[in-house]
Amino acid sequence: MIAFFSRWASLPAFYRRSGRWIPWLWAAAAGLLVVGTLGGLVLAPVDYQQGDAYRILFVHVPSAWMAMFVYMFMAGASASAFIWHVKLAEILARVSAPLGAAFTALALATGSLWGARMWNTWWVWDARLTSVLLLFFLYLGFMALQAAIEDRRRAARAGAVLALVGVVNIPIIHYSVEWWNTLHQGATVSKFDNPSMTWDMLWPLLTMALGFMVYFAAAVLVRARSEILERERHRRWVIDEVAR
Amino acid sequence: MKVSLASAWWAVLRRDLLLSVRRLGELGNPVVFFAAVVSLFPLALGADATLLRSVGPGIVWVGALLATLLSLEGLFRADFEDGSLEQLLLSPHPASVLVSAKILAHWLVTGVPLLLITPLLGVLLNLSPLAQGVLFGGLLLGTPTLSLLGSVAVALTLGLPRGGLLISVLLLPLFAPVLVFGAGAVGSALLEMPVLPYFYMLGAELALAATVVPLATAAALRASLGS
């Protein structure tokens, strides 16, 4: 078991394997995003209350999901980096943070645009908006810490502790601001057997969400590969790989 | 010579308290900062007594939070520079327990003075006796949590250039719940609504932080010292 994982997580093997995956992932992401965008912008029916403006949902909701998912991914990678000292996990945690921050920023920006149309204001101090904003700051803090520490091993250890402390705090932050103030509409897709959304709108949304996910996978692998090259630049296999 | 865990804990606490008492000048800095920040707000917002009464508790909370934030940098620095932090980690006792003594000492020398000056600042902001009481209770339960959470960030940024600013960036989102519950308690009291739920939440966060944070801080110190 452990032997399997250590072989799987060995950096040269991962570097070669991920190189084969990346083109497929890019293609799948592009396909899903094109289909989802068409479905969302063209095929899905007009909302009876919000008109066409609701269509920003097909970007807003997947990016908000990704904002949370990437943090969980980062925390999971940090935990395995911290517990088992897996180098690959350290690298994955480090390179996924900027992507997570970008998804969070996208969720905030699209939400702000949507709010400007629907609530007539760019920003309200509502619970969900505020907790996403705080999540954004958590990402920026993680990135700032990574940037401040030069030694990569030390940066990874410190980042792992921070990400784990953050992951314990996320529910506390979420419920504290929930208590503090709420105006945002409730989540619409919380129960999959009986969602409060028609199938015509749901399938483009899920396609977009899947597309975002595959995009994230591809982008993380690309970033991880360049991080590996930078970290291991004095190793024989990297020199051979680059020379090839 | 064998030293029991309890006496080692007590020795760390006593040593840190003694060090702060010997440097009384530094001890006062967070309090002066706190009072100065709080008195800047009326200058910016205007001296309207009703306005100050309604925003006062929030001002005091933000002031206490910033004062704690600025005081944190010194928590491990001297020990880091003279190497006694490494001795602490090398000791046979669990580092997390010894670290908790240092955090407690930090709260006693910064959190408690902030608490003591709060009634005076409350008078400056025209707070009612009820709001004063609830504010004091909230700070009593909340400032230890701030010291605890802060210790993780300080441990992570040990020895880094411009660590102070980084500490603030790391901590402000983590401090948000304490601020929400602490300031929320006073707001609720002003509306004559129950305040106990807020105190329970503050207490729960303190209990959680007190159990988990020393472990995280010890791990962060190990990461920073590279052992």
Chain segment A42-62, per-residue pLDDT in tens: 887 777 777 777 888 899 999
Check whether A185 has a pLDDT greater than 60.
no
Provide the pLDDT for residue A39: 87
Provide the pLDDT for residue A192: 47
How high does pLDDT run on average in chain A?
85
Best mutation target, A83, A90, A157, A161, to test chain B (most B CBs within 10 A): A161
Categorize the per-residue pLDDT at A10 as very low, low, confident or very high, splitting at 50, 70 and 90: confident
Task: Please list, residue by residue across A183-216, b when 16 or more beta carbons sit within 10 angstroms of its beta carbon and e when fewer do.
Answer: ebeeeeeeeeeebeeeeebbbbbbbbbbbbbbbb
* C-alpha closest to that of A89 among A11, A187, A158: A11
- Summarised one tens digit per residue, pLDDT across range B140-192 is 999 999 999 999 999 999 878 777 889 999 999 999 999 989 988 988 888 88
Determine the straight-line distance between the first and last CA of chain A, rounded to whole angstroms: 33
Q: CB pairs below 8 Å between A and B: how many?
A: 81
Provide the pLDDT for residue B192: 82
Give the mean pLDDT of B85-110. Answer: 92
Write the secondary structure of B37-64 as one string of H (helix), E (strand) and C (coil): HHHHHHHHHCCCHHHHHHHHHHHHHHHH
Provide the pLDDT for residue B149: 94
Query: Over pLDDT 90: what percentage of chain B?
Result: 53
Contact A88, A11 (CB under 8 A): yes
Task: Give the count of beta carbons closer than 10 Å to the beta carbon of residue A226.
Answer: 11
Check whether B206 has a pLDDT greater than 80.
yes
- Summarised one tens digit per residue, pLDDT across range A186-218 is 555 544 445 567 777 888 889 999 999 999 999
Q: Which residue did the predictor score with more confidence, A55 or A142?
A: A142
Provide the pLDDT for residue A35: 92
Rounded distance, CA B103 to CA B217, Å? 10
Helices (H) and strands (E) in chain A, counts: 8, 0
Provide the pLDDT for residue A191: 45
Whether B40 contacts chain A with CB within 8 A: no
Give the mean pLDDT of A171-189. Answer: 68
- Summarised one tens digit per residue, pLDDT across range A50-106 is 777 788 889 999 999 999 999 999 999 999 988 888 889 999 999 999 999 999 999
Provide the pLDDT for residue A181: 66
Rounded distance, CA B172 to CA B149, Å? 10
Query: Over pLDDT 90: what percentage of chain A?
Result: 43
Q: B224 and A158 in contact by Cβ < 8 A? A: yes
* Chain A contacts in chain B segment 176-205 (CB below 8 A): 176-177, 180-181, 184, 201, 205
Q: B223 and A144 in contact by Cβ < 8 A? A: no
Residue in A closest to B214 by C-alpha: A165
Provide the pLDDT for residue B103: 95
Provide the pLDDT for residue B225: 86
Best mutation target, B152, B165, B170, B212, to test chain A (most A CBs within 10 A): B170
Give the mean pLDDT of B48-56. Answer: 86
Query: Over pLDDT 70: what percentage of chain B?
Result: 99
* Chain B contacts in chain A segment 200-219 (CB below 8 A): none
- Summarised one tens digit per residue, pLDDT across range A148-166 is 988 888 899 999 999 999 9
Provide the pLDDT for residue A6: 67
Residue in B closest to A157 by C-alpha: B223
Provide the pLDDT for residue A183: 47
* C-alpha closest to that of A162 among A102, A94, A95: A94
- Summarised one tens digit per residue, pLDDT across range B10-45 is 999 999 999 988 888 778 889 999 999 998 988 888
